Amino acid sequence: MTTMQPIEIGVVLYPSAQQAAVLGVTDLLLMAGGIATEHAGLEHNPVRVTHWQASSEKTPPVRVFDSSPDLPCELAVVIVPPKLGDPIAPHRVASTVTWLQGVHANGGILASVCAGTFVLAETGLLNQRTVTAHWALAESFEARFPDICVDTDQLLIDDVDIITSSGLMSWTDLGLRLVERFLGPNVMLQTAQVLLIDVPGREQRYYSMFAPRLAHGDSAILKVQHWLQTVEGKDVSLAQLASLANLEERTFLRRFQKATGMTSSEYCQQLRVSKARSALQLGHLSVERVAWAVGYSDPSAFRKVFTRIVGLSPSEYRSRFKPQPA
C-alpha cells in the first residue's frame, strides 16, 4: 500500500453557520478521498477534514472534529461556510478573523461560501480583489467592503490563495474545485458522477434574477425606477425619463448611473430580460413571441442581449429551467 501525508481541509463553525453546508462539504471531500484511495491503492484517505470552532468571541478556533486524528498534517485549506439569516457582525468573529489571517500567512488557502465571504472579507485579504457573492447580498457587501469588487455573474472565483463561491449550495462547486486541485480531474469527475451533481463551470447569472438598487437615497431616480418597473422597461426614451425625474438629460444620466450602477439602457434591458426569463420558464410562447412580448422587434437582437446578460441563449435557458411534466 502507498502512503502519503493527507491534505487537511478545515471548516470553520462560527455562530449560525449552515450545518447542511458544513456536513455536506465534509462528506463530499471524504468521499472524494475514498475514491482516490481505491484507485491509487493508498493506505489511508488522502483527505483529512477538520472542524474548527471558537469557544468565545475572544478565543481562537480549535479542532472540534477530526476525520483522521492519528495522522500528522497541517491546514492546507480553510472553508468559511454560509450563514443562515443576515451576515454576521464583525465583533462576533474577531478572533476567527485573526486566526484566518494566520492560516493564510502560513500558506493556507482560504475559501468561502455565500455569506461566509463577509467573514473572509473582514481579514482584509480580499481588498483590491474580485470575489463573488450571492446576488441578493451584493449591495450590502459592496456597502460594507467598498475596496472589494463583486462579480455576481460568477458562481465561483478561484484566485489561487482565495476562493469564493456564491450561493448557499455552491459548497458543491467549491468542494469539487478543491478535489480537482488536490486529487486531480479524474477523481473530481468520478465524485460528481457518484453524487449526481454538476461539475464546475456553471455561472450564478443562470439563476440570479435582477435585483435593482433601491436604497441609494436619490428620490428622483427612485421615482423613475418605480415607473420603469410598471412599464417593464419597454418603449421608453431618455427624454421621458429625464422629464419624469425633472432633470436635464445629462444630469439624469449621471445620477441614474451613480444610483443604480448602470445606465438607463442597461437597466431597461435587465427588466426586459427578467420578464423574458419568466415567460421562457413558465409559458409556452416561442422565443420570437417572447422577444416581441418584452419589447424587442428583432428576435436576433433579443437573443444577443439575453445571452450576454444570462450566459445562456433563450432556448438553452428554457431547456434548463422549464419545469418538466411529471
Q: What is the CATH number of the domain that holds 42?
A: 3.40.50.880
C-alpha cell at position 249: 438629460
Looking at residue 287, what is its pLDDT? 94
**Assigned domain for 79 exists:** yes
**242 and 200 both lie in a single domain:** no
Same domain flag for 38 and 187: yes
| Residues 155 and 132: beta-carbon distance below 8 Å | yes
Question: Among 90, 93, 85, which residue's Cα sits nearest to residue 115?
Answer: 85
Sheet holding 156-158, edge to edge: 62-66, 47-53, 7-12, 75-80, 109-113, 162-165, 156-158
Both 83 and 150 in one domain: the answer is yes
Last residue of a domain, one of 165, 182, 206: 206
Same-domain pairing of 255 and 190: no
Same domain (yes/no): 169, 35: yes
Please indicate, yes or no, whether residues 134 and 48 belong to a single structural domain of this protein: yes
280 in a structural domain: yes
Residues 175 and 231 in one domain: no
Domain-embedded: residue 270: yes
Q: Which of 6, 16, 11 shows the shortest CA–CA distance to 27?
A: 11
**Does 176 lie in the same domain as 34?**
yes
Q: How many domains, in total, are found in the chain?
A: 2
Say which DSSP state 154 is in. Answer: B
Taking the C-alpha atoms of residue 264 and residue 97, their distance in angstroms, rounded to an integer, is 40
pLDDT at 326: 47
Within-domain flag for 195: yes
Residue 198 and residue 224 in one domain: no
Retrieve residue 84's grid coordinates.
443562515
In this prediction, residue 325 carries a pLDDT of 57
pLDDT score of 135: 86
Domain stops at, among 206, 231, 248:
206
Q: Is 114 left (phi over 0), alpha (psi -120 to 50) or beta?
A: left
> What does pLDDT average to in each consecutive run of 10 residues of the chain (326 residues)?
79 95 97 89 87 92 93 89 89 95 93 96 95 90 94 86 91 92 86 82 69 82 89 91 95 94 93 88 89 93 93 88 64
Residue 307: strand pairing partners: none
Cα angle 248, 252, 257; round to 5 = 160
Q: Cell for 133?
A: 457573492
Query: How much is the pLDDT for 136?
Result: 87
Instruction: Give the domain range for residue 83.
Output: 7-206
For residue 255, give the CATH number of its domain: 1.10.10.60
- Secondary structure tally for the chain: helices H, strands E: 13, 9
Q: Is residue 286 assigned to a domain?
A: yes
Look at residue 2 and tell me if it is in a domain: no
Domain boundary among 206, 239, 261: 206
Are 176 and 305 part of one and the same domain? no
What is the pTM for the complete model shown? 0.69
Q: Is residue 84 part of a domain?
A: yes
Residue 168 lies in a domain: yes
Q: Are residues 43 and 67 in the same domain?
A: yes
Cell of 110: 482560504
Task: Answer yes or no: do 22 and 147 share one domain.
Answer: yes
